[in-house]
Amino acid sequence: MKNTRTGSGGSGPRSGPTARNGRGQGRAGRPAARGAKGPGIAKGSGNGSARATPGPERAKAATPAKTPRAGQAPASSAKAGTKAAAKAAATETLVTGVQTLTVAPDEAGMRLDRFLVARFPQLAFTHIQRIVRKGELRIDMKRAKPNERLEAGQSVRVPPLKLEEKKPAARTPAKDESDATFLKSITLYEDKDVLVLNKPMGLAVQGGSGTTRHVDGMLEALRDAEGQKPRLVHRLDKDTAGCLVIAKTRFAATTLAKSFRSRSARKIYWALVAGVPRVRQGRVSTYLAREEASDGDARMRVALHGDEGASHAVTYYAVVDTAAQKLSWLSLKPVTGRTHQLRAHTAHIGHPIVGDPKYFNVENWELPGGIQNRLHLLARRIVIPHPRTGKPIDVTAPLPPHMLQSWNLLGFDTGGYDPIVEAPEE
């Protein structure tokens, strides 16, 4: 394939600017909260972290909890085992001061933010990310990064946390049945270890501010007889449709996460973009960094090597078909898996994805009649080694309704050859 770092646009419309130029070991939450390990990943919402209290009040916060009354179980007994015990333990920990957690062997390889989600299921994922970005967490006394991988035995220093417990929405048999039925209706592949869903556009993968319906919450309906809840091993943007891999056991979660991390998983995406790239097959290689917009909505910007928070991102693309030099069907193969990578990269080469509210930046461009103004991005296919056998699981997702409508209108044939399969894996 030809190689391009900027993937300069060709006969497509002139694009505007794509991006603006551009964080002595204690005891786990004091004696009252030892063993506060919550295995689940369901999230609630939090108020943010509490400030450390100076002087006597701070000393008071560090005082060991009172001795339990007769017949009352000590807080240290609230260990992982049942969902209720895990949540109770998390609540005990959240009202304590600075604490140091030790990474367990079965938590090795987890990203720091995922580790905290598992330990503190009541903290919103966005709040956890904010704590990490501000540099309030330490791993073995060193400042931590959000995507840093943990090793067994490492010490994670957590700042004081305060959270008004938000009671999770009560789950009823009817809700469990409804969620289980829905998940079954969008299942593309399933065995005892792995579940691959055809995630619809508009359905969030995880909860967040104002998000109550999401895949992670629905997975509660699929807990097994031992109380194990299926786990997410990667994510898709809310408006991206297609293949989403779920691990049904902790063993599968660990193995599948390693496959994504080592790039053993091969992913192919389809997108409809504005214009036609002059280089029909190419490689986009940039650094991407998170950028907080004035409206509070985070975006990724193309950054320079060495910029704070910048990560290298590589994407291969190929033009499958075009329509009147105004639109192109691109097949995309991301080598790395950065947030919004494909959306930022297509915008960077001057051909943003149709319907993208964050990155579409073409001046004086009108949406062709009959095409919906929705994100035209599909996680079309994934090939990943099975966690037990190592044999490839190969799953393909159909076009979502709005993209199928566009493909039919433009006369694109989904049964044709996809040139991206020949792209390198690195």
Instruction: Dump pLDDT digits (tens) for 185-210.
Output: 999 999 999 999 999 999 999 887 77
- pLDDT top residue among 223 and 125: 223
Supply the CATH number for residue 94's domain.
Answer: 3.10.290.10
19-23, 169-173, 396-400: the lowest-pLDDT one:
19-23
Residue ranges making up the domain that contains 66: 31-158
Q: What is the spatial distance between Cα 288 and Cα 341, in angstroms, rounded to a whole number?
A: 8
113, 179, 216, 237: which is the annotated catalytic residue?
237
Print burial letters for 43-79: b (CB count within 10 Å at least 16), e (below 16). Answer: bbbbeebeeeeeeeeeeebeeebeeeeeeeeebbebe
Q: What is the spatial distance between Cα 336 and Cα 314, in angstroms, rounded to a whole number?
A: 6
Kindly tell me if the per-residue pLDDT of 24 is higher than 70: no
Q: What is the spatial distance between Cα 269 and Cα 234, in angstroms, rounded to a whole number?
A: 15
pLDDT category at 117 given cuts 50, 70, 90 is: confident
Number of domains within the chain: 1
Kindly tell me if the per-residue pLDDT of 120 is higher than 70: yes
CB 267 within 8 A of CB 292: no
Position 92 in a domain? yes
What pLDDT shows up at residue 111? 80
Q: What is the spatial distance between Cα 58 and Cα 290, in angstroms, rounded to a whole number?
A: 35
Position 136 in a domain? yes
Position 204 in a domain? no
Position 306 in a domain? no
Q: Give the pTM.
A: 0.67
What pLDDT shows up at residue 109? 78
What pLDDT shows up at residue 356? 96
| Annotation marks residue 237 as catalytic | yes
CA distances from 39 to 13, 207, 232 (A): 50, 17, 13
Share of the chain above pLDDT 90, in %: 48
CB 275 within 8 A of CB 363: no
What pLDDT shows up at residue 20? 43
Position 256 in a domain? no
Position 328 in a domain? no
The closest of 207, 212, 240 to 125, measured between CA atoms, is: 207
Position 55 in a domain? yes
Position 61 in a domain? yes
What pLDDT shows up at residue 224? 87
